[in-house]
Amino acid sequence: PPRSTLFPYTTLFRSIWQHLSQNRSVYLANFTAHEVDWAIQNAVIVEQATYQTIAPSWYRDQAMASNLEWIMQQNPGARAVVWAHDGHVWKEPQAMGSYLATNHGSDYVVFGQIFHAGNYNAVAPAG
């Protein structure tokens, strides 16, 4: 879809999570902090998903790293395993891995897997 078609939606979704964030204390009267914070984060993810269709290519990786960081903050001391394509986990600038390596240093470890047989397509064939 054309950018002009999607931009109003990104603005709308951003306003929803901003409203939830700004009114967090109001929602805490009826919901736990855990429930409110997850609702706010889910609104962030909806805005990210809409915006990524018109954003620069690095935006998706930045959003994935940000979401993982948020989850880790909700679970202090926890460890995470993320399964992603090599283009996302590497430590090159603007890849998700570069953001995670910056924040976690040597605690960020990338390991790969190989397949003995079969096919895997991360990107649709050109044509």
Say what the pLDDT of residue 19 is. Answer: 97
C-alpha to C-alpha distances, 103 to 56, 62, 112, nearest whole angstrom: 22, 12, 21
Global pTM reads 0.83
Tens of pLDDT, residues 107-116: 999 988 887 8
DSSP secondary structure letters along the chain? --HHHHHHHHHHHHHHHHHHHHTHHHHTTTS-HHHHHHHHHHHHHHHHHHHTTTS-THHHHHHHHHHHHHHHHHSTT--------HHHHS-STTSHHHHHHHHHGGG--------SSS---SSPPP-
* Structure tokens, 96: 């998700």
Percent of the chain with pLDDT over 90: 65
Range of weakest confidence among 31-40, 45-54, 98-107: 45-54
Average pLDDT in the 25-43 region? 97
Range of weakest confidence among 62-66, 88-92, 111-115: 111-115
Say what the pLDDT of residue 9 is. Answer: 83
Say what the pLDDT of residue 1 is. Answer: 58
Q: Would you say 21 and 58 are in contact if contact means Cβ atoms under 8 Å apart?
A: no
